Structure 1
Amino acid sequence: MQEENTVKKNIEKIIRTYTSDMARVMKEKETSVIKIAVAQKEKEGAGIIKIGKNTIDKKNKDSSKILFVIGGVILIIIAVFGFYYLKEKKLEIDNPIIENTDPETKISYDVKSYLTISNITTISDIVNFITTEKTKTEKERSIKSIFINRITEESGELSNIKTLDFLSIIKTSAPSPLLRSLSDNFMTGIFYKTNSQHLFIILETTNYNQAYASMLSWEKTLLDDMINLFNIKIENKKILENKWKDVIINNKDVRIIHGEDGQGILYYLFLDKTTLLITDDVDTIKEIITRFQIK
């Protein structure tokens, strides 16, 4: 009987020990589960996601998405601008912009106009253009420079015609030595007075002695060459045979030919050893001398 009681007590002790151990283990496991859950929550709050053995930073993932979107927007903007840039370039090629490059002039001017010519342009075309420009209202004692350009058929570009081209179009009989002494640059213009407007031509020479001697030779036909361009009215053709004479205007030696009433109808002079002026009016000479000296 005593032995049975002893065995019973031992069994109860074993059961209590097992129960105690199980409770302790369960408590520890419960604590571990809670700790894991809390740790996972903290990681998620910090932007960290754990998938299996791999850990992903949520913030880095979101940043990558933002950078991807921004990059896509930038590429779209570049594509749009590239499209319009190529479109504008195509328009420039199909419709080139013709720009005027004005040559240097020996005197200052107040206004300017452009005459564009072609291979079939005649002196009549130039005379008509000048006549039209003379009828326009401009400030008194102002000078208008007339730039004569030619369109290149191959490229469609404008270029300033050269002196020899101009003299050829207006059909002059200038001596060959004079033509060889002239540079490519020249100027045509109009001087506006109160009741009249006067054309002038400025030529540039690289050889004063040759140009001066050639001008004396050209006097035989100079008036006849310029009569249409300057719109000089002559009823008696014998005027074309008149002799040129010397006069002084603003301390400059000037050559002059007189008309039927004894008035000067055409003049020429050298402003310096490189610059030749041809015009039909004394006031125009004075104004150009003043501007030439200032410039």
Structure 2
Amino acid sequence: MSRIVYVNGEFLPEDAACLSVFDRGVLFADAVYEVTAVVDGGMVDFEAHQQRLCRSLAELGIDFDLRAAGLLELHRELIRRNALNEGLVYLQVSRGVADRSFLQPTTCQPSVVLFTQAQSLLETAATGTGLRVITQPDLRWHRRDIKTTQLLYPSMMKTLAVEQGADDVWMVEGGTVTEGSSSNAHIIRADGALVTRPTSPDILHGITRAAVLDYSRETGAAVIERPFTVAEAQQAREAFITSATAFVTPVVAVDGVAIGDGRPGPATHRIRSHYIQRSRERLQY
């Protein structure tokens, strides 16, 4: 049975849904998006995702009223119609439809698309085995803090990593790790301190990242926000990524060098368990 998706005011079977070829999201990646995890039929960090969406829209000058659009109710209805218990809701807002021009139009009606993806989030193979990452130069544009649909380079790098026998890529700029193809990067030093790059235009301001740092501080863990090098990562006790789709997932090797003993570590396991527990306590239905 096909999914029910939402496109510009209509709930439709996925094979009946379409966007105009003149949509600026199609022609220019002139669009922003958010992905909200769903666990036990409830949404994880929904309001935080909406706040970031509002910021992304403002940075691109897309005039879109989130409250008037009723995005919370749209998410709820899509989850209900697709009987989604665990997985994701993808939301995309583009500037809208206009004849192709590099000059951004000011009279467009934004296009809105939502769809669900059933996916295991709580129990995954990568949680048990850990991820092997390779490093590559970060050649993306320099407004990575805006969550746009401009994802070609990360897609190329993820594909390259898999072709080389790894699971993902950590991108490097100026000698330090920025982030993964679709995740934030973290290491745990020998003294137990969690080190991660601070928010700036260099990285996406991850919702899961922020929650993990808050929850880590609640447990008394030392959190240091600064860039770290590939060598530091290779010498770390543990490493992991965070994202709405991966939650907290261990990294066990960087460029073929094992992290710690080459297996997912206990600190990462504790952080993941704490994150899932706290997220379940705050689910939005």
Q: What is the TM-score normalised by the length of structure 1?
A: 0.24
Q: Would you tell me which structure has more helix in proportion to its own residues?
A: 1
Q: What is the TM-score normalised by the length of structure 2?
A: 0.24
